[in-house]
Structure 1
Amino acid sequence: MAPVAQIKIPATYMRGGTSKGVFFRLQDLPASAQVPGKARDALLLRVIGSPDPYDKQIDGMGGATSSTSKTVILSKSTRADHDVDYLFGQVSIDKPFVDWSGNCGNLSAAVGSFAISAGLVEPARIPHNGVAVVRVWQANIGKTIIARVPITDGAVQETGDFELDGVTFPAAEVQLEFMDPAAEEEGGGGSMFPTGNLVDDLEVPGIGTFKATLINAGIPTIFINAQDLGYTGTELQGAINGDPKALAMFETVRAHGALRMGLIKHLDEAAQRQHTPKVAFVAKPSDYVASSGKAIKAGDVDLLVRALSMGKLHHAMMGTAAVAIGTAAAISGTLVNLAAGGIERNAVRFGHPSGTLRVGAEATQVNGEWVVKKAIMSRSARVLMEGCVRVPGDSF
């Protein structure tokens, strides 16, 4: 049997926030992968190097963590008042599936930059010097993101002095505005709080019953008090990811939370929906040492948050979960708000394993329902490599 040749597909490897991913223009994908389906999923799995029973993704572009097993597909937008359509695929490391159920807030920081460099934004909308406002349609969740991308001499500016905890080197600041971030297509008929409550008693058979804030904002998220789970909120990755019993517990909590939120109809469906919802635990401010060795003082933050992504404690904070944190912090009575002092606020700075992050959000009640018009945060992005990825021609 004759060997199958590899094919080349134009692609760009980018860092966005505290994540990395492979970016494609829709038009550059093979015809069978330009539409949703098995061929597209198989192609992206092969690009990233999944499924990998060794959990290393050696034979692909993935970095063997949830933050680095990501793909993005962009195209000129067909929607009015938008520049680009953005589709995000979270690639499982050890299982043969791509999760399309949510957005990646960190990689959202790189979407505007890539769209400009890839010719997906009309040249007239890009200043020679200044800030380009890129209007992004987030196709996974049907939401608008506004990316403010710095431009110098007609090109995207990537270098600068903006520092982001969880990223080693400084870069140019990209401001993101997540418009109307509460999910509409998820469970609960579009309500930010699908159960109708700011705090629920979440019963998890075999583990316990916990106070929980279940929120659809940025990304569906389950917030629980750290002390109720036996934690302090100062934990780093090793304390959780090195404990198989803890990981199994969190996954069970996540599955029951997903069921309570109406995201799944049966518990066993959670295994095929790893990207959402997220599960996080919160605590009042406390001193701790971040993973970089940086000392974080209680006075530096309003609260502590630790969140899990794809079954592991995240090394920093997912951008979409940060939106959920900012939104919940702005609503008096949620567990996030209570951990942050229980006061009214339109911005919050929280401590995560790599350091701190500030996110702003303003919440109001309309006809008895909580709404948030936008959440704002700053990230950074940079092209790491551009050219083509190669995959065997028979892999999709």
Structure 2
Amino acid sequence: MSTKSFPAYFMRGGTSNGLLIKRSDLPADEEKWQPILASAMGSPDSFGRQLDGMGSGVSSTSKVMIVSKSDRGDADVDYTFVQVGIKDGSMDIAANCGNMSSAIGPFAVDIGLVPIAQKHTGRRANVRMYNTNTSKLLVGEFDVNKEGKYEPLGDYAIGGVPGTASHIALSFLYPAGAKTGSSLPTGHPIDELKLPDGSTIRASLVDIANPGVFILASDIGIPGNIAPDILGGNADLMARLEMIRQTGARRMGLDPSTPSIPKLVLLSSPTPAEATEQGINIICRALSMQQAHKAVPLTFALNIGASCGIPGTLANLTAVNAKGKDSIVIGHASGRLEAGSVVRDGEMLSALLHRTARVLMKGEVFYTIDDEE
């Protein structure tokens, strides 16, 4: 065994944080990434705390983004998202992370991957990003300062993050069918899932930005505003929800043993006060990597927002005051989030989300590695 290091940024992107690394600072062979990234994040850790690394024991803080200059004509940078398994150190690259995607543009500008003189007008810059996990294009627009570096200070607030920061707009281009090729992989807005225990449950299986299994909180007998700690602390309920997720994955033609996708999301309608006073259209509680999420994964907020506009889906039937709107407001465990979309002739051209990001630290990240690997 030996100790080595690589240069990296440690950043918050939306309601997640993680490492951002230039691809050239990792081995060319992706098969060699797993032990390096696992050790850097502090996994595997049977205690689930990642005390010996940069992670902090929850799925939204055990993330890595690997970025390179793109050879594509329609993108400035390529990036691969890695979800590092907390307890087992696995390297899951099946899905994208919308929250951490908001940090890609600022990172690329700050390290010089994107020449800012070519990309900014006034104090706004835009970076075109190609996500290798989903083979989809995104555009990030954000503030830069007079030195041509990312400007994090501003007055925009997002739910789940204290204080304010500068506004980042993320446009997901042609987001439908990210993994299955269709927004409704089964062709139905609602499917009846038969579970291994013989019971059944209604679910909407929707693939927009990332595939999701959407069910109603009321169909499993829990309140829609349940606290994540209470939800996650109910072992029997979490086991049942994982059974539902895996059954939905099979119906969508996805590998049920992949923990990152599809994710399972519980939906409910807002109270009259939430709908009128806060403008909330729908409530969600999300599960990620078999944990109750403290907010909502950004790509699944986008999926919910788009699903509200697909006739007959559970989101469409549950949302309040959402008919005819280009964007809807989602209430989650840490606040609210607005998701918008552009649809023309029945095709979703883009979906828009709003985030903030901040560089927390940059330097060398140390890891231990078996010299024989």
Same fold flag (TM > 0.5): yes
Match of 2:172 among 161, 178, 195: 178
User: Which residue matches 2:80?
Assistant: 87
Q: Secondary structure at the match of 1:374?
A: strand
Q: Secondary structure at the match of 2:112?
A: coil
User: Which residue matches 1:377?
Assistant: 353
User: Which residue matches 1:74?
Assistant: 67
Match of 1:317 among 280, 296, 310: 296
Q: Secondary structure at the match of 2:57?
A: coil
Matched, 1:356 2:336: yes
User: Which residue matches 2:156?
Assistant: 162
Cα deviation code 1:69-128 (max 9, x no counterpart): 001100000111210001000011111311100000000110000010111112432437
Letter in 1 for 2:310: I
Equivalent residue runs for 1:117-132 within 5 Å = 117-127=110-120, 129-132=122-125
User: Which residue matches 1:330?
Assistant: 309
Distance in 2 between residues matched to 1:350 and 1:250, nearest whole Å:
21
User: Which residue matches 1:307?
Assistant: 286
Distance in 2 between residues matched to 1:100 and 1:183, nearest whole Å:
17
User: Which residue matches 1:267?
Assistant: none
Matched, 1:285 2:265: no
Letter in 1 for 2:290: G
Distance in 2 between residues matched to 1:132 and 1:5, nearest whole Å:
41
Distance in 2 between residues matched to 1:55 and 1:152, nearest whole Å:
39
Letter in 2 for 1:286: T
User: Which residue matches 2:19?
Assistant: 22
| Kept after mapping to 2: 8 A contact 1:125/1:132 | no
Match of 1:53 among 43, 46, 49: 46
Matched, 1:194 2:185: yes
Distance in 1 between residues matched to 2:152 and 2:79, nearest whole Å:
20
| Kept after mapping to 1: 8 A contact 2:70/2:76 | yes
Q: Secondary structure at the match of 2:238?
A: helix
Deviation at 1:334, TM superposition (A): 1.1
User: Which residue matches 1:390?
Assistant: 366
Distance in 1 between residues matched to 2:157 and 2:15, nearest whole Å:
11
Q: Secondary structure at the match of 2:102?
A: helix
Letter in 2 for 1:26: R
Letter in 1 for 2:289: M
Distance in 2 between residues matched to 1:240 and 1:207, nearest whole Å:
23
Letter in 1 for 2:11: M
User: Which residue matches 1:9?
Assistant: 6
User: Which residue matches 2:133?
Assistant: 140
Deviation at 1:179, TM superposition (A): 0.6
Letter in 1 for 2:359: V
| Kept after mapping to 2: 8 A contact 1:84/1:120 | yes
Deviation at 1:233, TM superposition (A): 1.0
Deviation at 1:347, TM superposition (A): 0.9
Deviation at 1:363, TM superposition (A): 3.9
Q: Secondary structure at the match of 2:73?
A: coil
Match of 2:274 among 297, 316, 319: 297
| Kept after mapping to 1: 8 A contact 2:36/2:368 | no
Q: Secondary structure at the match of 1:152?
A: coil
Q: Secondary structure at the match of 2:6?
A: strand
What value does the CA root-mean-square deviation take over the aligned residues? 1.6
Q: Secondary structure at the match of 1:231?
A: coil
User: Which residue matches 1:204?
Assistant: 195
TM-score normalised to structure 2 length:
0.95
Distance in 2 between residues matched to 1:75 and 1:392, nearest whole Å:
24
Deviation at 1:281, TM superposition (A): 1.1
Distance in 2 between residues matched to 1:127 and 1:50, nearest whole Å:
39
User: Which residue matches 1:346?
Assistant: 326
Q: Secondary structure at the match of 2:243?
A: helix
| Kept after mapping to 1: 8 A contact 2:116/2:125 | no
Letter in 1 for 2:125: A
Q: Secondary structure at the match of 2:30?
A: coil
User: Which residue matches 1:106?
Assistant: 99
Aligned-residue sequence identity (percent) comes to 37
| Kept after mapping to 1: 8 A contact 2:120/2:126 | no
Deviation at 1:262, TM superposition (A): 0.4
Q: Secondary structure at the match of 1:155?
A: coil
Match of 1:262 among 232, 253, 263: 253
| Kept after mapping to 2: 8 A contact 1:331/1:344 | no
Deviation at 1:28, TM superposition (A): 1.6
In the alignment, structure 1 segments of 5+ residues that lack a partner are 265-269, 288-295
Distance in 2 between residues matched to 1:377 and 1:78, nearest whole Å:
26
Q: Secondary structure at the match of 1:224?
A: strand
Deviation at 1:212, TM superposition (A): 1.0
Cα deviation code 1:345-375 (max 9, x no counterpart): 3211011000111100134565xxxx31111
User: Which residue matches 1:245?
Assistant: 236
